[in-house]
Amino acid sequence: MNKSTSVKKSISILGAGKIGLALATLWTKAGHSVCLGSRNPEKLQATNVKNIKAAAAEGDIIVLAVPYSAVESLITEVSDELKNKIIIDATNPFDLSPEGHVISTLGSEITAGTHMATLLPNSIVVRAFTHIMEELLVSRGTKQPGLFALAIAGDDLTAKSIVSELVTDAGFVPIDIGNLAESAPLDPGGILFPHVLTPADMKLVLKKNLARQHMIETFDKHVNAELAGDLETTLATMTNSPHLHNIPTPVGGFGIAGVQAFYKNHLVGKFFPPDVEMINVARIVSDDYIVDEVVVKFTHTIMIDWMLPKVAPTGKRVEVAIAVIVKFSEGKVAHEHIYWDQANVLVQLGLLDAKNLPVTGVESARKVLDPSLLTQS
């Protein structure tokens, strides 16, 4: 076992289950004083086991290692004992989505760390040991100390540096991924969960994740500026040599001057009618592409130059599936290729007779939103 890098600490681990016992083993070997808190201390073989309240009172640093469903009642029980202490939160609001993906039961709007900090306003919360499975925690921490990384997050720098030392003492390389609001990568559903990576690989994964988030934010800003007719912001989200290609129509733009002219002459005020509704069906994000599958609904009350050039408003309803392929270069939009079935739109406007032609009308977009309709001819 690696030698402890830190001053000997008094640590109480609340929850003497798989993760709690694993941490107790590693830190005891590293020379720290470890107390385990259990509801049934008499049943455990470990050296220093106490009931939850006594254990919470003993340690200067507290680890929460109980099932997520038990967290709130545990905190209520020992709120006085936890005051002003560093709380290492290893608990996970873990669930599986209906498709079988790991997700946070708290949803995507709030991190587990931010939520824990609201439950413990008088303590200092640091998230750690969340994205590694306990059997790897013990085996990698003891057999390959210093090889693999563990992410930590918190709002207090001093507390994070203390927890970093404890991560090192457990046999891992701590990687600070930011404050609690930024800690989604180490939560269930996050990019690091449940993975064991070397420090270099973890940094690369986090860097790519950040770049993808930046791409998403940039593209959302780009579309919002397009909708608002804000030419300056739209162009600021693009590279210096972009192009736009609306595949079914002759309208687009090449190079900064071409794109500028396209926006000015064909898009501002003519993007979509005011009643437009956009329903996101799917978004695929890679290192340098975003692909959006969207169903767009509107009433054709204005000229829509990019989609229906030279077609005067018909007043007809349109529901159309659109695929937008967006290429990024150095964090900015380099090009957009926009695909839709123009015959489908023309049928809905009454400008194309679907009879005797292999084309469809409104049902096409509806089947994208509700695939069960595909069973109907």
Ligand X SMILES: NC(=O)c1ccc[n+]([C@@H]2O[C@H](COP(=O)([O-])OP(=O)(O)OC[C@H]3O[C@@H](n4cnc5c(N)ncnc54)[C@H](OP(=O)(O)O)[C@@H]3O)[C@@H](O)[C@H]2O)c1
Nearer to ligand X, 183 or 348 (CB): 183
| Closer to ligand X by Cβ: residue 16 or 86 | 16
Shortest separation between residue 2's beta carbon and ligand X, angstroms: 21
Q: Least separation, in Å, of the C-beta of 87 and ligand X?
A: 13
Distance CA 301, CA 285 (A): 33
Could you give the string, one character per residue 132-161, with x where binding to ligand X holds by CB under 6 A and - elsewhere? -xx---------------------------
Nearer to ligand X, 117 or 290 (CB): 117
Return all residues near 358 (Cβ < 8 A) that are at least 6 apart.
Answer: none
Q: How far is the CB of 201 from ligand X (least distance, A)?
A: 19
Is residue 191 a contact partner of residue 185, using CB atoms and an 8 Å limit?
Answer: yes
Q: Which residues, numbered 21-50, are part of the site for ligand X (CB under 6 A)?
A: 38-40
Minimum separation from the CB atom of position 164 to ligand X (A): 18
Nearer to ligand X, 16 or 321 (CB): 16
Which token pair is 30? 């590293």
Which phi and psi angles does 2 have, rounded to 5°? -65, 155
| Percent of the chain that is helix, strand, coil (3-state, to 5) | 35, 25, 35
Instruction: Specify the 3-state DSSP secondary structure of 297.
Output: strand
Sequence-ordered alpha helix ranges (H) in the chain: 18-29, 52-58, 71-77, 79-82, 112-119, 134-143, 157-169, 199-228, 231-236, 255-262, 342-348, 363-369
Residue 202 as a binder of ligand X (CB under 6 A): the answer is no
- We find the least distance from the C-beta atom of residue 70 to ligand X, in angstroms, to be 3
Q: Which residue is nearest to ligand X (CB)?
A: 17
Among candidate residues 368, 375, 200, the one with its CA nearest the CA of residue 296: 368
CA–CA distance, 260 with 243 (Å, rounded to integer): 10
* CA-based R_g, the chain, Å: 28
Compose the 104-133 pattern: x for residues touching ligand X by CB under 6 A, - for all others: -------------------------xx--x
Pick the closer one to ligand X by CB: 134 or 363: 134
Query: Minimal distance in Å, beta carbon 130 to ligand X?
Result: 5
DSSP, residue by residue, 306-353: TTSTTPPP---EEEEEEEEEEEEETTEEEEEEEEE-HHHHHHHTTSS-
Pick one of 9, 12, 13, 19: the residue that binds ligand X (CB under 6 A).
19
- Helix axes of 157-169 and 18-29: crossing angle, nearest 10 degrees: 80
Residue 265 is given by DSSP the state: I
Residue among 18, 53, 221, 366 that touches ligand X (CB under 6 A): 18
Residue in 11, 12, 13, 15 binding ligand X, rule: CB under 6 A: 15
State which residue, 134 or 341, has the beta carbon closest to ligand X. 134
Burial class (CB in 10 A: 0-12, 13-18, 19+), 221: middle
Q: Which residues have CB under 8 Å from 70's CB, separation 6+?
A: 15
Segment near ligand X (CB under 6 A), from 17-25, 153-161, 251-259, 261-269?
Answer: 17-25
Q: How many residues bind ligand X (CB under 6 A)?
A: 23
Residues numbered 67-96 forming contacts with ligand X, rule: CB under 6 A = 67-68, 70, 74, 90-92, 94
Of residues 86 and 225, the one with the C-beta less far from ligand X: 86
| Contacts with ligand X, residue ranges (CB under 6 A) | 15-20, 38-40, 65-68, 70, 74, 90-92, 94, 129-130, 133-134
